[in-house]
Copies of this chain bind each other. A is one copy, B any other.
Amino acid sequence: MITMGDVARLAGVSKMTVSNVVNNRAGVSDQVRRRVLEAIERSGYRVNVSARTLRSGRTGVIGLAVPEIDRPYFGLLAAHVIDQAGRQGFHVAIEQTGGAADGEIDAIAHSHTLQFDGLILSAVGLHPDTRPPAETGYPIVMLGEQDFGGRFDHVAMPNEDGTRAATAHLIARGCRRIANVTGRFSQGLNVVTRRHHGYLTALGEHGLEADPALLVNLGEMTMAAGREAAHRLADSGRAFDGVVAVTDTVAQGVLRGLADRGLRVPDDVRLVGFDDVPEAEYMVPSLSTVAPDHAWMAARAVELVVGRIQAPLGPTDQHVAPFELVIRESTR
């Protein structure tokens, strides 16, 4: 392994000068800088990140904890976060939490071990009252879903407004018996309750009553669960002409489940999702959905962690992503 000492000897300077060149610090004459750069080139030297980290206390790595990286939405998110972090000179290590509170707490504890400089946590299972482990020593930014009442920096989804707009759109299209396929209600405000609330608000604003028979609470927010929800709705005998799904992934399952029962979208039932995953545009029929600005969210989250890494203190920041309602075939 080639060290700074080797380069220093080769260039005929001290280790410190090499360090200054490597880190682009001022106060090195052009001539010496050139000589050092040449020695680096010639020797194929690369800094030893561990040594730098040990000494400086910074790793240059941001952790990103997501439930499962193979769900389209989190893949999308990760891609954006990796891009944005790269722009700021950080690398990203991904943790899979499994969406359980356990895994998410592990991620917080683990990042300690891994010595991230900061953690972006896309929490879904964590209880809203959770407090950050007192001595984490690095900033945590919450991304997307769960709301922790201002105790963390937070980049939130437009959960309520988005679902409200989606529901209002179904109503404008003539739907009157609109189902809501969503997750399990747990205490506190979270993605599920907020989106459900947006649905209720829209119904209320248009003088419609929510029929409890048209509410499906899923244990998991997966395609498989969405499919079953559609089966349950179709088999219940209750009339329905619209479905508001809590996520695009669930919506894809619903779409499939409706097809299983011979219900046509949008002729018999109109369907709207949430997230605008890349697949939405390619489903048959293509899926209308709430499209939060994912790049914006990732940029904001990275900006927040990086900001905190540089200046840890100060009041927490709360952002809500802008969104657009994308209208496709499923609500034509």
Contacts and interface: CB of A to CB of B under 8 A. Distances in A.
A332 to B, nearest CB: 13
Interface stretch (A45-53, A157-165, A311-319): A45-53
Contact of A69 (B46, B69, B91, B279): B69
Given A54-B51, A82-B94, A46 B113 contact: yes
A278 B223 contact: yes
A70 B68 contact: no
Contacts of A99: none
Contacts of A68: 79
A135 B46 CA distance: 11
Contact of A72 (B72, B112, B253): B72
Interface stretch (A185-193, A199-207, A281-289): A281-289
Nearest to A294: B70
A63 to B, nearest CB: 10
Nearest to A286: B256
A39 interface: no
Number of copies: 2
Nearest to A93: B93
A59 B46 CA distance: 16
A92 B83 CA distance: 17
Given A94-B94, A278-B70, A54 B50 contact: yes
Given A46-B113, A50-B50, A91-B93, 4 more contacts: A49-B113, A72-B75, A83-B96, A256-B284
Interface of A: 1, 44, 46-51, 53-54, 59, 61, 68-72, 74-76, 78-79, 82-83, 91-94, 96, 112-115, 135, 137, 223, 227, 252-253, 255-256, 259, 278-279, 281-286
Closest 8 CB pairs of A and B: A50-B53, A75-B75, A70-B75, A70-B79, A50-B54, A256-B282, A70-B76, A50-B50
